[in-house]
Amino acid sequence: MTRMLVTGGAGFIGSNFVHHTLKHHPAYEIRVLDSLTYAGYRESLTPAGDAIEFVEGDICDADLVERLMAGTDVVVHFAAESHVDRSLHDPEPFIRSNIMGTFTLLEAARRHDVRFHHISTDEVFGDLPLDSDDKFTEETPYNPSSPYSASKASSDTLVRAWVRSFGLRATLSNCANNYGPFQHVEKFIPRQITNVLVGDRPKLYGDGVNVREWTHVDDHNAAVHLIISGGRIGDTYLIGSGDERSNKDILETTLELMYQERDAYDRVPDRPGHDLRYANDSTKIRTELGWVPEYGDLRAGLAQTIDWYRHNEWWWKAQKEGTEATYALLGR
């Protein structure tokens, strides 16, 4: 058995990664390290039962990380503060968890010669013009816009430095926007779905022209496994479905799929510094590692996600009120 440490495994992508791994890669023995911030839910791992070990703890806790790393063959590092709006309101936790947390893991991983995969985001590259066919590539210079993306950019450069200077066996991936089950209701798609489900109107920032490349979380996690098993040490891989949509388009499609009028939403003040468009050129992972996204049809993936929120109110109901109270303070 290969001993895998999954940081942030009680969050959205991390919990889906655990379920994906148990189903498709049973040779891994999984241990999750997660401090259960407002975004971490032990319940997201309920379907895994006792097939995994769960450790509640902080990636900044050097003693704990040192002990866990001693019994680990491969780390998949998802843990992070992940929400742009929160980072604009209170950047400190982002600097701490995303930068200091990654540093703490890297130091322990190099002491124990542990294989390291770092999960990152397309937001490190900044944004692209709305009306162009430009895409980010593995060579695009970093140009982050928000405290969140700046903290992720910092963590990426730390990983690259540990590869070059200390010979750490690490790879990196920068994925586009994910959607799917177990995503916190603060994020765009689940916020709108759950607004409809509780009888509130969805909220669109500004005029909704901003474009994101929506990738199903299972496709992201399948890509991560390909990198862990076949990726070149020191390399970065961009991941993205290729399906670019404006926020307005996503919202109107969601409303249609939920049998609402397509214009049944409110426009709210825009996010400061709002990135216009993200788009990844994922040719490298497709050609070198054979990654093919299975969720080719975003409408079908969205319908499946709506269904999941409809049937899993037990999971999201408790988050909803506090999340909307925070948005009300931000005026969004």
Interface residue list for ligand NAD (CB under 6 A): 8, 10-14, 34-37, 39-40, 58-60, 78-82, 97, 101, 119, 121, 152, 175, 177-178, 184
Cα radius of gyration (the chain) = 19
- C-alpha to C-alpha distance for 296 and 219, rounded to whole angstroms: 10
- Interacting positions 195-234 with ligand DAU (CB under 6 A): 203-205, 210, 212
- C-alpha to C-alpha distance for 99 and 74, rounded to whole angstroms: 20
CB of 312 to ligand NAD, least distance (A): 15
Q: 233, 230, 243: which is closest to 291 by C-alpha?
A: 230
Query: Quick one: which H or E segment has residue 70?
Result: helix 62-70
CB of 152 to ligand NAD, least distance (A): 5
Closest CB to ligand DAU: residue number: 121
Residue reference for tokens 């895409």 = 135
Which CB, 31 or 218, lies closer to ligand DAU? 218
CB of 16 to ligand NAD, least distance (A): 8
Residue reference for tokens 């290729």 = 242
Q: Which does 84 bind (CB under 5 to 8 A by kind): ligand NAD, ligand DAU, none?
A: ligand DAU
Q: Take residue 269 and report the two structure tokens written for it.
A: 């003040």
CB of 219 to ligand NAD, least distance (A): 12
For 165-203, b/e burial (b = at least 16 CB within 10 A) is: eeebbbbbbbbbbbbbbbbbbbbbbbbbbbbbbeeeebb
123 counts as catalytic:
yes
- Interacting positions 82-141 with ligand DAU (CB under 6 A): 82-84, 121-123
Give the amino acid at 99.
Answer: I
Q: Take residue 67 and report the two structure tokens written for it.
A: 């002990």
Q: Which does 119 bind (CB under 5 to 8 A by kind): ligand NAD, ligand DAU, none?
A: ligand NAD
- Interacting positions 243-302 with ligand DAU (CB under 6 A): 247, 271, 278
- C-alpha to C-alpha distance for 94 and 146, rounded to whole angstroms: 11
Which CB, 10 or 298, lies closer to ligand NAD? 10
Q: Take residue 321 and report the two structure tokens written for it.
A: 């009120």
205 counts as catalytic:
no
Eight-class DSSP state of 293:
-
CB of 34 to ligand NAD, least distance (A): 5
265 counts as catalytic:
no
How would DSSP label each residue in 94-145?
Answer: HIIIIIIHHHHHHHHHHHTT-EEEEEEEGGGG--B-SSS---B-TTPPP---
Q: Which does 210 bind (CB under 5 to 8 A by kind): ligand DAU, ligand NAD, none?
A: ligand DAU
- C-alpha to C-alpha distance for 19 and 52, rounded to whole angstroms: 10
Which CB, 2 or 319, lies closer to ligand DAU? 319
The one catalytic residue among 41, 148, 265, 278 = 148
Among 188, 214, 265, 291, binds ligand DAU (CB under 6 A): 188
Is 59:107 a contact under the CB 8 Å cutoff?
no
Which CB, 70 or 330, lies closer to ligand DAU? 330
The one catalytic residue among 34, 58, 81, 122 = 122
Question: Which residues are designated catalytic?
Answer: 122-123, 148
Which residues form the interface with ligand DAU (CB under 6 A)?
Answer: 82-84, 121-123, 176-177, 187-188, 191, 203-205, 210, 212, 247, 271, 278
